[in-house]
Structure 1
Amino acid sequence: MATPRYLTAQKISLLVLTRMYCSSTLPSSATIPILSFILSSNLPAASSSARARRSLLSNQPDASFSIDTFEDVLQGHASSMPGRTLLDLFLKHMWEMNSFDALHALLDSIMDLVTPPPPGSQDEDISDRIYLSKTSPLGAFVRRAHLEFTRLQFDDSMKLWSSFIKYRAPTAQWTKRIAGLASSGVDAVVSEMGLRDGDDVYEVAYGHLEEQDEGEGMSLDDLDRILEFQLDRLQKFGDRVPDGMKMQLRDMVSSSSLVHRQAHLVQFFDAWKAGDYTSAFDNLHRYYDYAMQTREKIHYQYALLHMAILQADFGCFGEAIAAINETIATARENQDMTCLSFSLSWLNHMAKAYPKQMKGAGYMSMLGSERDALTFLKAKAKETKMYNLLSASLLNEAKLSLATGDSIPRALEHIYQSSHLNIKEHINTYGSQMLLTSTLYSRLGIPHLANVHCELLLDCYVHSCPLDEHLRATGRLAFILSQHGRYAEAIAVLEAIDPSIHKSLKFHQYIVLCIGLIKLKRAIRRADYQTCTHLLQTLKPSTDTHSPPLDSELGFLQHEAYIDYLVSTAQYPLAFTCISALAQSLKEDNADILQRVSVLLMQADLWRKVGKPERGFSVALRAASVSYRARLGGALWTAVGCLGNVLNGMGEWGASRRVIEGVLPQALEGADTMLTGTLYSHLADSYMGLANNNNPPSHPASSHPASSHLSSTHPNMTSPSNPPATPTSASSTRLRVSHIAKAFLYIDRAQQCYHKAGYLDGECEQLMKKAIIAKLRGDEKLAEEWAQNCNRVWEEGRMET
């Protein structure tokens, strides 16, 4: 049986319900449910999100709903006839249509519902009838059903009647009130003629009722709506078609015996998300060929747009720019402002996200600077009332303010404008808004608020935001957990992601990269360099500008982790080269100010590691100044801690103590255990320097692996062979004892922070400091105990790896 063009048994049943609604008085409580049911089953793609989600979860298209759905809608409403429900009236009308001629009578008389009587008519039979406007959704449904039925050939009409008989058959057992109506069987004419199963005439007319056809109950119009719904999911949310739905769609399309434009696009998106670029290109070319054969130019420009996005996805930026330029030219020719604005917005995003690759492909901005481009897009969005584009442009402007270190209140203003627009115009961009707000609070040094916004996105908006935003929020939660030293929990969060998301190659690579970076950071802090070497085989940042594009944030984290590994393994010349190359690259790309400040801090910390902290003073001071101006909380505290360490190395222990104590409370609120431990360690050095203010600094020695760090990073610690000079006054002695006690306290706190962060080398370093302080006090037994504790912690930490 060929797939019908529009009319199906479900639509015939809806016509019966529509005529019942117009011809009889329904209780007020039933009006809205019945109208909602009829309209939701017939309106095109603008269906409610709730219905769409229900359809997706059940893997059953709305267009092929069973007859049981009518029972769910009508059973609970009483009719005007005592003792009967609306379901009884509906079944009565359904079974009164007891012949093929009755079906013709229904479709011929259905136009009476949209044809009001002439003025002055006093007919009592029609005085209470409801008449539909021809332009209303219900009126359009009635008129199209009548038109499509008149176009049917006799054979197709008989098939429609047969499918209606099969669809209605289960209701014969629902109630005894229709027993008399249903006694005539499938057809009253057949009963009058005395025909039964096995008779030749009966077998010709109704012998196929027991057969099951693929795609039964579906029309071409319904199939187009289902394909459009799948396209909407693919484009908005980025997820792939479920396997069960994919098989159903394949059966529906094959049974229709026609070529569907949307089917090519569904297959294109599914192959693209799976990383099967060959199949994606094939299906996209089929879509393009269909557009050219049918001379539908609008499809041609959108095929070009998809081609540009696909080319850019695996690094062919030259071909992507050529395709997007052709898209823009075609959109201008066709005056398609939607496609034109989206193309310009995408081009602006690519120029910002991958500046090096775009410049290498010869791209020159059409709209001037990024701020000028956003101003232009906002103006066009307001003119054409493209509120989605306007909301996205406001968020991009907020991102630009954060990336360039502009005013934080201005960025918040743009975010609130976008939020107001989302609520007012019912725009679903809450995911982007939550992520940007999380980024803002993270930069301000308030990670718990950043964490709250990520959890809010995952708890409240996960079903209405694209999958890439869902993954970014999950990844950010995982990195915040790793910042607290909870590596196992962070990895568990990423591994708990729905396995179906891994069906998309890009999303799979993102998850694997996040897990790998967290494992690499944990291995570096545990001094497990064998694991680091293994992980770096896949995580080492690429210097090839022609490689496929990578997420800019994760790309920077790769560079940061690699440099951290080089510094931890004392490969200082190579680390300095990598830092210089990264700084130059970020400067050429006009990258995010937070990333550029982070590179300055890496450079200052490297000078400290090599024993020349004074050379990092100007670098750390510049990083602190920029961080303060741009309100980068975490970077500011790190820079101040670096300055404090430089001052310790120069003998300015009092100044170092003041600057570190000034930022320590805010750093504690940030809950970055590694940063807090570093600040406590530098503060302890300052107090030891104040306690030994009258003696020149010397370098402690130890046989422990951590002792190599003590000689370069803690010059103010006094060697046991050079005891400090004895104070001449009791007050000086008390002050010295007080400073040593505070130093011991802060060393203990630094050790606890390093333990939480899993930083084995730092924890052992603090234990060695305790041993040295005990020896300075003359307590050899306690010093030996701390040294043994240091060895024990080191061995236990190595065993855990």
Structure 2
Amino acid sequence: MSAKKEPETVGFWLPNQCSAKMDIITPHKLAVVFLIQEYLSLKKAVDENAQLDFTARDRRKFCLLLLKLIQYPDMAYKDLYGLLTSPVYGIHRAHLEEFEKLMKMLKTVGIEVLFDLYNVIDKLITDNASSYQIGIVGLYFRRVYITLDKMSFPEFMALYRNSVAYYEKGVRAVQISSSSFTNSESFMKLEAQTLYKDRNSTCKWSIKQSELFVAQQSLLLQNNEINALSPKEMQTRLNEIIHDHPLYSQAYFLTYLNSVRVRDFFNAIDAIHRSFDRSTLNSLALVQDSKEYQYSALNLAILHAQFNHNEEALASIKECIMLAQENSDKICLQLAHAWLCLLDNSKSQFSEKNIANKELITLVHSISLGIQSLVKSSASTGYTPAKLFEVLLKSDILNCQTSMMDLIANGIAERAALWAMYGKNEVSSLCSQLLLNSDLKSLGKTYNGEGICQALCSLIIWLAIQGEFNLALTVLKHTRERFPRYPLSKSWMTADYYITSMQAIFRHEWTESSNACYHLYTLDKHLSLLQRAFLALARLNLKSADQLLRQLLDDDTIEPLTRVRALLLTAHTLIPSPDNAKMEVVNVLNEALAIANKNYLDYEKALIEMHFAHVLLTMKLPHQALKAIKNCLENILANGGIYDKAKVLFLFVKCALAVELDSINKLAKIEKCLPMLEQAVEYFQKLECYVKMKDVYIFLATFYNDLEMKEERNKYAYKYRQIEEQYPSASEYLNLFY
């Protein structure tokens, strides 16, 4: 969110409204003008004498060089000379010789060279046949001409002396390091240093160069943060811009964004206050009524939301809404409404207001953003899924019509999240892959923002629950490199700690799982409590698990999906209780089923049915248990992770065998079911969940022992012994359905 409503394509050629300060002519800018002057002379000579070797490639290289010199801040003469002789931007030899002669004349002839330059620029601007009346070079000439025209004679003399000193110092430096540009690799190092590191602090950024830098870096932070400057380098450049243009408010706003991504709250709050202080001063200087105080309140609310200061954020949002209503600012009202829905769960009523108002193109972004926000909040209140997807489709249409890549990506990522919440994990995975394989380009720039990060995190978790931990870590590494800093880093850090704790629980590595859960607490409190309860349950610490789950269930802000999962774990803590307490387990499962039905959580409904089957089986009701397990078998096998698949296969076999009373029928049934048990063992082994493998082998050994089939009994008893010797565990860990 930018601090001011400005055109999206802010560039150095746009009129400046942020500072009344004139551009300052520096020796570097004079050198650039000399380069252009000698290029025009050489080009004219080539047109008159075709025998001169001045190719189209030389012209193209000079044009690229000129664009770079105009857009970027001043550099030392040594670095400028390095660019002129580099393999990438090097100019024609004759051009370089004439440029060096002119720079020497500046020292030997005197200030007359500057007066001649003034007349040359005037002639180029007024010449109707000149192609440099328009375009970037023409605008550059005009700015230099106007600035020279307004300079007094003492200022002219100061410029001349500074230019001579600039040239003399640069020539000495070139002579000392004449071998610095012998290959393209050394040039690339020089270019990075020239543009970002070794620029003399006394050199000036022009107003337009500052605008271009801020616009480019702001766009990169929003759409492709990995290509933006590092926080330290960016802040160095911003400090230089602020030193040169103290009233340029956008530089302070970019400072605020830069501070947020390194979690520096105090510098961020200071920068955003300074940004809007400068905006007010500029508005007063232009004798205009400022009607943008609502944006200061909105951005202050967003800042507090980034640091989880919800009360302060809501107070700023309310102030923003009042100011926006006073100024009749529909865009700001739409954005404030979207953030209000994100911050206040009580404001989650679904509305399609203003969706049809598409003729106002300036409202499209805020409308689409509001739709996505309301779809998210409405999904947690049990709204009809078909209606949510229908309205989300309207957002997709708006986004595609206006090529808003960030909202296109966010829309697909939100659709994947909805499918995952409703239990269709395969469809969710396909949506994420669709987004990652889409060519999200606009004006030649590839989008690499929040939607992409969310899709990658979804795939990380999906691969992990399928037992592909190595692939999940590979995708995680790629995501970490692609989104290294806050706020996007929060998503992959959450996925990282979640799968780490889950894998450690399967392996019975309690310390590692506990550490991951505590790290997860700062990122997602509810998910951390859920994982800690799962860990306590796996360790048979039922009292601790019950306390954690009560703490979680007493929180009214948790999502329905989290509440259902917490109730399932609560049922686990009650399963080992005596038979006369089984009805309490059933009541907990019924409560979870009611919430799942209300919110269309199909996969959780299947898990609840599986738990009902287990409880019925322990209550010696095998027929009812088999009926329950059949209702959920297909859903879990189609959409579940391999841990749930292994559990449901194992439970299905136990129910199917419990139904049979005759030994012959049991033997025939086990022959059909052995492939299922082998598949379950394979899943457990893939997860390195060896305790569950022992459960299966103990069940089979006991089953064949009851049928007095000693050879088969000894076979599975031996397999159990092999695993026990390799991965020993206490006997109390066995036969617990968690």
Same fold (TM over 0.5): yes
Give the letter for the 1:523 counterpart.
A
Query: CA offsets, 1:219-272, max 9 Å, x none?
Result: 232123213333343455667741673375167437737564333333333233
Asked if the contact 1:524/1:565 (under 8 Å) is kept, the reply is yes
In structure 1, what is the Cα distance between the partners aligned to 2:464 and 2:296? 43
Q: What residue number does 2:561 align with?
A: 594
Match of 1:319 among 312, 323, 326: 312
Asked if the contact 1:398/1:410 (under 8 Å) is kept, the reply is no
**1:387 Cα offset (Å):** 2.2
In structure 1, what is the Cα distance between the partners aligned to 2:525 and 2:728? 29
Q: What residue number does 1:5 align with?
A: 24
Asked if the contact 1:674/1:753 (under 8 Å) is kept, the reply is yes
Where structure 2 has 5 or more consecutive residues not aligned to the other structure, the ranges are: 1-20, 48-55, 106-112, 171-197, 285-289, 730-738
| Higher mean displacement: 283-292 or 460-469 | 460-469
Match of 1:106 among 117, 120, 135: 120
Tell whether 2:389 aligns with 1:412. Answer: yes
> After the TM superposition, which residues 112-511 of structure 1 pair with which residues of structure 2 at under 5 Å, given as runs?
112=126, 144=143, 146-154=145-153, 213-214=200-201, 216=203, 218-234=205-221, 241-242=229-230, 245-246=233-234, 249=237, 252-253=240-241, 256=244, 258=246, 260-294=248-282, 297=290, 301-352=294-345, 369-372=348-351, 375-376=352-353, 378=355, 383=360, 385-429=362-406, 430-455=408-433, 457=435, 464-465=446-447, 468-491=450-473, 493-495=475-477, 497-498=479-480, 504=486, 511=492
Q: 1:582 to 1:779 in 2, by over 3 A?
A: same
Give the letter for the 1:227 counterpart.
V
Q: Secondary structure of 2:540's partner?
A: coil
In structure 2, what is the Cα distance between the partners aligned to 1:217 and 1:67? 19
Q: What residue number does 1:563 align with?
A: 533
Query: CA offsets, 1:195-238, max 9 Å, x none?
Result: xxxxxxxxxxxxxxxx9954658423212321333334345566
| Higher mean displacement: 737-746 or 768-777 | 737-746
**1:105 Cα offset (Å):** 1.8
In structure 2, what is the Cα distance between the partners aligned to 1:380 and 1:581? 45
**1:680 Cα offset (Å):** 0.7
In structure 1, what is the Cα distance between the partners aligned to 2:603 and 2:199? 66
Asked if the contact 2:622/2:659 (under 8 Å) is kept, the reply is yes
Q: Superposition RMSD on alpha carbons, in Å? A: 5.1
Q: What residue number does 2:186 align with?
A: none
> After the TM superposition, which residues 576-591 of structure 1 pair with which residues of structure 2 at under 5 Å, given as runs?
576-585=546-555, 588-589=556-557
Q: What residue number does 1:514 align with?
A: 495
Q: 1:212 to 1:40 in 2, by over 3 A?
A: closer
In structure 1, what is the Cα distance between the partners aligned to 2:453 and 2:239? 32
Give the letter for the 2:244 counterpart.
S
Asked if the contact 1:6/1:220 (under 8 Å) is kept, the reply is no
**1:293 Cα offset (Å):** 4.6
In structure 1, what is the Cα distance between the partners aligned to 2:490 and 2:364? 32
Give the letter for the 1:150 counterpart.
D
Give the letter for the 1:109 counterpart.
K
| Higher mean displacement: 511-520 or 433-442 | 511-520
**1:95 Cα offset (Å):** 9.0
In structure 2, what is the Cα distance between the partners aligned to 1:14 and 1:338? 46
Q: 1:104 to 1:665 in 2, by over 3 A?
A: same
**1:534 Cα offset (Å):** 4.8
Give the letter for the 1:393 counterpart.
G
Asked if the contact 2:235/2:255 (under 8 Å) is kept, the reply is no
Give the letter for the 1:594 counterpart.
L
Asked if the contact 1:227/1:263 (under 8 Å) is kept, the reply is yes
In structure 1, what is the Cα distance between the partners aligned to 2:84 and 2:209? 19
Q: 1:41 to 1:156 in 2, by over 3 A?
A: farther
In structure 1, what is the Cα distance between the partners aligned to 2:652 and 2:81? 71
Give the letter for the 1:767 counterpart.
Y
Q: 1:563 to 1:243 in 2, by over 3 A?
A: closer
**1:772 Cα offset (Å):** 0.5
Give the letter for the 2:538 counterpart.
S
Count of equivalent residues:
652
Q: Secondary structure of 1:371's partner?
A: coil
Q: Secondary structure of 2:708's partner?
A: coil
**1:428 Cα offset (Å):** 1.9
Q: Secondary structure of 1:524's partner?
A: helix
Give the letter for the 1:485 counterpart.
G
Asked if the contact 1:14/1:38 (under 8 Å) is kept, the reply is no
Q: What residue number does 1:742 align with?
A: 672
Query: CA offsets, 1:485-534, max 9 Å, x none?
Result: 23454345435554695554x56665554333322222322333344455
| Higher mean displacement: 640-649 or 622-631 | 622-631
In structure 1, what is the Cα distance between the partners aligned to 2:459 and 2:497? 15
Q: 1:418 to 1:464 in 2, by over 3 A?
A: farther
Where structure 1 has 5 or more consecutive residues not aligned to the other structure, the ranges are: 45-54, 76-84, 117-125, 171-210, 356-364, 542-549, 693-726, 728-732
Q: 1:446 to 1:578 in 2, by over 3 A?
A: same
Asked if the contact 1:397/1:411 (under 8 Å) is kept, the reply is no
Q: Secondary structure of 2:467's partner?
A: coil
Q: 1:735 to 1:558 in 2, by over 3 A?
A: same
Give the letter for the 2:625 counterpart.
S
**1:775 Cα offset (Å):** 0.3
**1:350 Cα offset (Å):** 1.4
In structure 2, what is the Cα distance between the partners aligned to 1:491 and 1:419? 31
Query: CA offsets, 1:97-128, max 9 Å, x none?
Result: 98333321233234436xx7xxxxxxxxx6xx
Asked if the contact 1:684/1:742 (under 8 Å) is kept, the reply is no
Match of 1:526 among 503, 507, 514: 507
**1:690 Cα offset (Å):** 1.7
Give the letter for the 1:102 counterpart.
D
In structure 1, what is the Cα distance between the partners aligned to 2:90 and 2:543? 79
Q: Secondary structure of 1:386's partner?
A: helix
Q: What residue number does 1:775 align with?
A: 705
**1:323 Cα offset (Å):** 2.8
Q: Secondary structure of 2:727's partner?
A: helix
Give the letter for the 1:736 counterpart.
K
In structure 1, what is the Cα distance between the partners aligned to 2:330 and 2:25? 32
Q: 1:531 to 1:229 in 2, by over 3 A?
A: closer
Q: Secondary structure of 1:5's partner?
A: coil
Give the letter for the 1:602 counterpart.
L
Q: Secondary structure of 1:265's partner?
A: helix
Query: CA offsets, 1:457-479, max 9 Å, x none?
Result: 55655985565545433332222
Asked if the contact 1:337/1:384 (under 8 Å) is kept, the reply is no
**1:765 Cα offset (Å):** 1.1
Q: 1:219 to 1:662 in 2, by over 3 A?
A: same
In structure 1, what is the Cα distance between the partners aligned to 2:60 and 2:363? 32
In structure 1, what is the Cα distance between the partners aligned to 2:471 and 2:95? 59
In structure 1, what is the Cα distance between the partners aligned to 2:464 and 2:640? 11
In structure 2, what is the Cα distance between the partners aligned to 1:33 and 1:334? 50
In structure 1, what is the Cα distance between the partners aligned to 2:481 and 2:90? 40
**1:274 Cα offset (Å):** 1.7
Query: CA offsets, 1:725-781, max 9 Å, x none?
Result: xx5xxxxx6533222333444333322222223333322211110111120121335
Asked if the contact 1:458/1:473 (under 8 Å) is kept, the reply is yes
Give the letter for the 2:394 counterpart.
Q
